[in-house]
Amino acid sequence: MTTPWWQTCVIYQIYPRSFQDTNDDGIGDLRGIARRLDYLVGLGVDAIWISPIYPSPMVDFGYDIADYCDVDPSFGVLADFDNLLVQAHRRGLKVLLDLVPNHSSDQHPWFAESRASRESQKRDWYIWRDPAPGGGPPNNWISDFGGSAWQWDEATGQYYYHAFLREQPDLNWRHPAVQAAMYDVMRFWFDRGVDGFRIDVLWHMVKAADFPDNPPNPAYRFGMGEMHRLLQRHSTDQPEVHRIAAEMREIADSYGARGQGARVLIGEIYLPVDRLMHYYGGERPEMHLPFNFQLIDTPWQARVLAAVIANYEAVLPPGGWPNWVLGNHDRPRVAARLGQAQARIAAVLLLTLRGTPTLYYGDELGLTDVVIESSDVRDPRELREPGLALGRDPVRTPMPWDDSENAGFSAVRPWLPLHADWSTRNVTRMAEDPQSILALYRRLTALRRDRRALSIGSFVLLNVQDDILVYERRHAAERLVVALNLGERPHRLQLPEWVRDSRLLLSTAEDAALVEDGVLLLGSNEAVVLEAG
Ligand code: TEU
Ligand code: CA
């Protein structure tokens, strides 16, 4: 029985505007990704997910799509994508695209036709409603980026719904023609050879048919962002979304359901874990991997993490494969949240937990959130709700390749500024330093490849105390122990009997931990992987 690649792989997210520029416009492009594929092979990842590359006015930097079946000129042309795919596949790398089915750009021809008149053939492709009886928006729903989620259209005298920007009208997924059109988009890219999709805001796609007001959120506090005033009870996570997710899965499976040829679907879903589990599917399979963002949101404390991991393992449905994420293009970077020392421990955690890990570009260098001067702000989220630290520019800054001008990212000033220490915190420099976090990531991916216990083995929590988290990964005769110190204080840990004669496979510290008489001396901010026998 062969394990499908998406269970054993390490996924690497690329924010294409910020990875590598090749035509001197300060914006990363597809040729740039192709140029850096050998870096990714050396890093030891197996699949890349590329944030949207399609034609877009870039109001939300590609999450506002004006044509689902082409490439934006700032990223290149379709032939560049085809070439990237060939080059990636030649190196054994899978390529996942970002599918954004919930909404299009307001510049998409579908929306132009829809808004043209109430009688338009495509009127119902989007969500149009009359004003509330007393006037004003049809209900109280709030955009995730602040303000009413309803935009008045003077010409046709109705409101349209947008869960995000007004430039991102939501498609009406209750309409069969919309479903058919988006399924054709999936086929377009599957036919070209892509290995799967990360699906944007999957849980948003269907709204309650009668559009009731959302209830207030009792936990709302100023500073959380206006969207959190209300619970998104009726605007998201509706039962009907599951049939759509299952149909998407059927399309993916029709291109490859097993082994190396499998096509994979990853759902972006921000929901409590019990709700998240439904997106694996019931009678019919849905997402291969509903993104598990808990490591991003969980306080960095051993007991809390242990509880989160144990609960997640416990509620996974039969056959449901776990996955873990430390960061993405919307959330603070891991090194900004935890600091450099613990970012290394987080790397060990991400790559030794049971389940498919997704790594965000730059986190392997310990990039932190870059301070963006107000004149440099680009993210519409920051522009709409300034000063609440909701902006996402800080985590989308250019990848630093070397200490040449603009860090080898571009010959010209990049679209967002580089981090301050780019002349030392860059790929070339860190690759030479065996103690760098980059070197640590390389050792971790190599170890994960080498030890089936890490990729497909079982998981058992062994010890949780103070700042210490210890667990076992086991496959057949292979038994590994992972011990993490989430704090500064060194610890002496009594090891279980079976691991007394153990070998140290990896340590994050320069002078690695010692095992003496069955006691592990775990240093400050140190994580180790031991192998029994
Ligand atoms: O993100 C959706 C999303 O859930 C977040 O913006 C969320 O509202 C925020 O993290 C608060 O928890 C996806 C994309 O990843 C994002 O870049 C897009 O802006 C958004 O959808 C619209 O497409
Ligand atoms: Ca470019």
Task: Confirm whether 310 is domain-assigned.
Answer: yes
Same domain assignment for residues 407 and 329: yes
Same domain assignment for residues 404 and 466: no
Same domain assignment for residues 118 and 156: yes
Asked if residue 64 has its Cβ within 6 Å of ligand 1, the reply is no
Task: Confirm whether 411 is domain-assigned.
Answer: yes
The rounded distance, in Å, linking the Cα atoms of 400 and 419 is 9
Task: Confirm whether 450 is domain-assigned.
Answer: no
Strands 519-522, 491-494: pairing is antiparallel
- Closest CA to ligand 1's atom 20: 63
The residue from 268, 364, 385, 393 that is catalytic is 268
Same domain assignment for residues 286 and 380: yes
- What's the N-to-C CA distance of the chain in angstroms? 27
Same domain assignment for residues 468 and 416: no
- CA–centroid distance, residue 82 to ligand 2 (Å): 17
Within 10 Å of residue 430's Cβ, how many Cβ atoms? 21
- CA–centroid distance, residue 324 to ligand 2 (Å): 31
Q: What is the CATH number of the domain that holds 143?
A: 3.90.400.10
Among all bound ligands, the one having the nearest atom to the CA of 22 is: 2
Pocket probe for ligand 1: among 220, 270, 330, the residue whose CB has the most ligand atoms within 8 Å is 330
Task: Confirm whether 168 is domain-assigned.
Answer: no
Asked if residue 15 has its Cβ within 6 Å of ligand 1, the reply is no
Clarify whether 200 is annotated catalytic: yes
Same domain assignment for residues 326 and 384: yes
Question: Which contiguous run of DSSP H or E holds residue 340?
Answer: helix 334-352
- Asked whether 152 and 135 are in contact (CB, 8 A), the reply is no
pLDDT per residue as tens, the chain (533 positions): 689 999 999 999 999 999 999 999 999 999 999 999 999 999 999 999 999 999 999 999 999 999 999 999 999 999 999 999 999 999 999 999 999 999 999 999 999 999 999 999 999 999 999 999 999 999 999 999 999 999 999 999 999 999 999 999 999 999 999 999 999 999 999 999 999 999 999 999 999 999 999 999 999 999 999 999 999 999 999 999 999 999 999 999 999 999 999 999 999 999 999 999 999 999 999 999 999 999 999 999 999 999 999 999 999 999 999 999 999 999 999 999 999 999 999 999 999 999 999 999 999 999 999 999 999 999 999 999 999 999 999 999 999 999 999 999 999 999 999 999 999 999 999 999 999 999 999 999 999 999 999 999 999 999 999 999 999 999 999 999 999 999 999 999 999 888 888 899 999 999 887 788 889 999 999 999 999 98
Among all bound ligands, the one having the nearest atom to the CA of 392 is: 1
Clarify whether 124 is annotated catalytic: no
pTM of the model: 0.98
Angle at 458 between CA 41 and CA 306, to 5 degrees: 95
Q: What is the pLDDT of residue 1?
A: 64
Asked if residue 270 has its Cβ within 6 Å of ligand 1, the reply is yes
Taking CB atoms within 8 Å and a gap of at least 24, the contacts of 156-162 are 156/115, 156/117, 156/118, 156/128, 157/130, 158/118, 158/128, 158/129, 158/130, 158/131, 159/128, 159/129, 159/130, 159/131, 160/115, 160/126, 160/127, 160/128, 160/129, 161/126, 161/127, 161/129, 161/207, 162/103
Same domain assignment for residues 334 and 374: yes
- CA–centroid distance, residue 85 to ligand 1 (Å): 26
Asked if residue 237 has its Cβ within 6 Å of ligand 1, the reply is no
Same domain assignment for residues 155 and 251: no
- Closest CA to ligand 1's atom 18: 63
- CA–centroid distance, residue 80 to ligand 2 (Å): 12
Asked if residue 360 has its Cβ within 6 Å of ligand 1, the reply is no
Q: What is the CATH number of the domain that holds 326?
A: 3.20.20.80
Task: Confirm whether 366 is domain-assigned.
Answer: yes
Domain that holds residue 22: 5-104+176-444
Within 10 Å of residue 361's Cβ, how many Cβ atoms? 25
Q: What is the pLDDT of residue 160?
A: 99
Same domain assignment for residues 405 and 504: no
The rounded distance, in Å, linking the Cα atoms of 274 and 303 is 20
Q: Among 444, 469, 491, give the residue marking a domain's end.
A: 444
The rounded distance, in Å, linking the Cα atoms of 358 and 13 is 7
Task: Confirm whether 170 is domain-assigned.
Answer: no
Same domain assignment for residues 434 and 386: yes
- Asked whether 179 and 247 are in contact (CB, 8 A), the reply is yes
The residue from 29, 200, 364, 379 that is catalytic is 200
Pocket probe for ligand 1: among 201, 231, 275, the residue whose CB has the most ligand atoms within 8 Å is 201
Same domain assignment for residues 127 and 60: no
Q: What is the CATH number of the domain that holds 462?
A: 2.60.40.1180
E strands present in 420-477: 458-465, 468-475
Q: Pick from 526, 467, 525, 472: which is nearest to 502 by CA?
A: 472
Task: Confirm whether 333 is domain-assigned.
Answer: yes
Strands 502-507, 527-532: pairing is antiparallel
Read off φ and ψ for residue 265, nearest 5 degrees. Answer: -120, 130
Q: Among 397, 413, 444, give the residue marking a domain's end.
A: 444
Task: Confirm whether 220 is domain-assigned.
Answer: yes
SS3 58: coil
- From residue 41, give the alpha-carbon distance in Å to each of 46, 64, 367, 411, 442: 7, 31, 20, 25, 10
Please name the amino acid found at residue 267.
Answer: G
- CA–centroid distance, residue 201 to ligand 1 (Å): 7
- Count of domains forming the chain: 3
Joined tokens for residue 348: 């060990």
Residues 6+ apart with CB under 8 A from 398: 18, 28, 406, 407, 409, 410, 414, 415, 416, 418
Angle at 426 between CA 362 and CA 350, to 5 degrees: 35
Q: What is the pLDDT of residue 514?
A: 78
Please name the amino acid found at residue 457.
Answer: G
Same domain assignment for residues 121 and 90: no
Asked if residue 144 has its Cβ within 6 Å of ligand 1, the reply is yes
Within 10 Å of residue 116's Cβ, how many Cβ atoms? 14
Q: Among 444, 476, 504, give the residue marking a domain's end.
A: 444
Q: What is the pLDDT of residue 33?
A: 99
Asked if residue 471 has its Cβ within 6 Å of ligand 1, the reply is no
Q: Pick from 167, 244, 151: which is nearest to 201 by CA?
A: 244
